Structure 1
Amino acid sequence: MKQAANPFHPELQRAARLIPNVTMTRRALAVVRFLSRFQRKPRAPEDMAVEDVRVPGPAGAPPVRVRTYRSRKVQGPTPALLWIHGGGYVIGQPEQDDVLCAEFARELGILVVSVDYRLAPEHPFPAPLEDCYAALRWLFAQAGALGVLPERIAIGGASAGGGLTAALAQLAHDLKEVRPAFQLLVYPMLDDRTATRTDIDGTNHRAWNQGSNVFGWSSYLGREPGGAQVPVHAVPARREDLSGLPPAWLGVGTCDLFHDEDLVYARRLEAAGVPCDVVVVPGAFHGFDIITRGAGVARDFRGTFTAALRRALFPVPGVAESAKAG
């Protein structure tokens, strides 16, 4: 993946120069987690009902905290989105996506449920995925009480959250207990074998580099990445048969470490008969829509995947609008 000398989108060039090239290590992880304790938590918008709920966890495991978002203006049963935050499988919490989840809830008139899954390396696979599946089962089981249309429940996530989303779609397909209607994959972390590649020019990668990728996958798998075999459902890109999975949307930038693995996965979904819309953003690095939130290219990207969710959850024209009050 050889990069051009000046590959960044014009709106992202300044940010690309300022982002430090930091590799995630155990020490860096401890620092990031410590600093996150002091981050100011944004107040919930007045038009949004935000609630933390403890739901039954996997067998023998603690309950799972989920954070729910619903517009106070919405009336009647609505679709829902189970959202999974990113963080390389080792950092993060639902609050980091408060703004995005509130936007989903407000713009689409849906219930959003964000999962506070356990993190590696303390809790390697399958704990994070099992927590996400427990939250998904709860969402389906409580659909009536929550005012959710069970046939219109989507799953989605960014980065490692996108990887967990893809794995969750595969797990749900195999267990046949619940079936998500759609999977939203925002620059997903899908393939541990990328961490072993030596042909990648990482000069222009930002926010998540190859060293961090090795650390993230090693922490999640509990072993060095790229081995001959991995546990079933641990690495979405390792699955041979992708047929029967929910329709997907996948977006990634050309300066993202996950660019190649993401496009390969999207092509394999299509080849397996799974509809997959793909958006590639020229000159965009990993997490650009969060780091440069106000840039036009970031707003356009969010608008594109929000529109994809709208099409998936409101297949009949006009339904999205009529679900909102006022």
Structure 2
Amino acid sequence: MDRIDPDIARFVEQMRQDWKQFPPFETLSFAEQRVAAEKVRARWALGGPVMARTLERSFDPGAGELRVRVYQPVNDDSPLPALIYIHGGGFTLFSIDTHDRLMREYAARGGFVVVGVDYPLSPEAKYPTALNRIEGLMLWLRDNAGRWGIDPDRLAMGGDSAGGNLSFATCLRLRERGELGLVKAILSNYGGFSATISDEAEARFGGPASILHREEARGYWANYLRGPEDEDDPEACPLLAEFSGFPPCFLAVPELDLVAEHSLAMHERLKQAGVDVECVVYPGALHSFLEAMSISALARRAIADGAAFVARRIGA
């Protein structure tokens, strides 16, 4: 792993130092893990663009309560296009607070509204609880987006890691309903699309010293899924799905990531289905590298690439 970008290496080392103030992760309850994770990630959410307006709401869009945060980058009374962004964290950790700066960066760079989604976390909320609520949010926005100054005809979805998974899964649900036209683009940052991690990926990028290793990933999937049968469900593991009719997609792939193989396989599946897809591999990058945006030019470039893609597709 000597090919790690130096700034990303600094990011990883700082997180390791910050984790030392807590007991070993595996000894903590899920509630304690989340508190610790929020504190370790807090420094990376500081600074960055100032929004013209930020709105936060907790409400039930039809399938159970969600907390959302709406970032409006400019003062404009006309309905604006929007990216609905779903944070990562193995379906188990993190929130719109850990990803606050990342979402503000997308809003500022792309000139569109970003709607950050706090979905119910696993294992307390097993699959498909979070998916049901995000689907409910998208259907609510179809009819009510104007309440938040959003144009319902110019929506994109996106997320990192588990959030990439949930974005694709939501679009599969919407396609079943005949509502896939709601989503004009998908942005996926190092999405985790399968419960399977190959031996090759673990040998090259995993192990106890890595930012994400196979046993950790397996733990997250065990938290999320109800049982082994869900591993065969395309709405839980979208790599199994067929993608005809999907909107244009952008896949941001860290070169040295345990789940890079998922995004590369997804790229092939999308091309086979005739989907307009862009796949960019970022040399020297690791899983979660976008959070290093305050110190990493590579992370800032990846954010700018994703923001430009979304802006082109939704007319921002």
Counting matched residue pairs gives 304
Aligned with residue 5 of structure 2, among 3, 9, 15: 9
Supply the distance in 2 between the matched residues of 1:110 and 1:218 (Cα, whole angstroms).
36
Asked whether the equivalents of residues 74 and 109 of structure 1 are also in contact (C-alpha less than 8 Å), the reply is no
Provide the rounded CA distance (Å) in 2 between the counterparts of 1:228 and 1:53.
Answer: 32
Alignment of 1:43-54 (within 5 A): 47-54=51-58
Partner of 1:275: 276
Query: Do the aligned partners of residues 15 and 146 (structure 1) sit closer, same or farther apart at CA in structure 2, a change above 3 Å counting?
Result: closer
TM-fit CA distance, 1:90: 0.3
How far does residue 161 in structure 1 lie from its aligned partner after superposition? 0.7
Select 1:71's aligned residue among 73, 76, 100: 73
Please show how residues 193-232 of structure 1 align to structure 2 within 5 Å.
193-194=196-197, 197-202=198-203, 204-205=205-206, 206-224=210-228, 230-232=232-234
Moved more, 129-138 or 15-24: 15-24
Cα distance in 2 for residues equivalent to 1:280 and 1:43? 27
Overall identity of the aligned pairs, in %: 28
Q: Distance in 2 between matches of 1:198 and 1:235?
A: 19
Change (3 A) 1:30 1:150: closer
The one-letter code sitting in structure 1 at the alignment partner of 2:72 is R
Partner of 1:263: 264
1:80 matched to 2:82? The reply is yes
Contact preservation (8 Å) 1:19, 1:207? no
More divergent stretch after superposition (169-178 vs 248-257): 169-178
RMSD of aligned Cα (Å)? 2.7
Deviations 1:247-284 (A, max 9, x none): 10001111101111110111110111011100001121
Unaligned runs of 5+ in 2: none
Picking from 140, 144, 149, the partner of 2:146 is 144
Structure 1 counterpart of 2:193, one-letter code: L
- The TM-score, its normalising length taken from structure 2, stands at 0.86
Given the superposition, is the C-alpha separation of residues 32 and 292 from structure 1 closer, same or farther in structure 2, using an over 3 Å criterion?
Answer: farther
Residues 12 and 292 in structure 1, CA contact (< 8 A), matched pair in contact too = no
Residue 180 of structure 1: aligned partner: 183
CA deviation map 1:76-115 (0-9, x unaligned): 1211111101110001111222212222223333221111
Deviation digits for residues 220-270 of structure 1, max 9, x if unmatched? 11225xx6953351111121x211111100011111011111101111101
3-state DSSP of counterpart to 2:98: helix
Deviates more, 1:68-77 or 1:269-278: 68-77
3-state secondary structure, aligned to 2:8:
helix
AA at the equivalent of 2:223: S
Structure 1: 5+ residue stretches without partners: 315-319, 321-326
- 1:134 paired residue number: 136
Q: Which residue of 1 aligns with 2:170?
A: 168
Superposition deviation, residue 142 in structure 1: 0.9
Greater share of helix: 2
Counterpart-to-counterpart distance in 2, 1:308 and 1:25: 38
TM-score normalised by length of structure 1: 0.83
Is the CA contact (8 Å cut-off) linking 1:48 and 1:102 kept in structure 2? Answer: no
For residues 117 and 150 of structure 1, what CA distance do their matches in structure 2 show? 21
| Deviation digits for residues 198-234 of structure 1 (CA, Å, limit 9, x no counterpart) | 333446443222111001111111225xx69533511
Aligned-partner Cα distance in 1 for 2:11–2:224: 29
Q: What does residue 97 of structure 2 align with?
A: 95
Change (3 A) 1:31 1:43: same
Letter of the 2:186 partner, please give it: Q
CA distance in 2, matches of 1:14, 1:144: 42
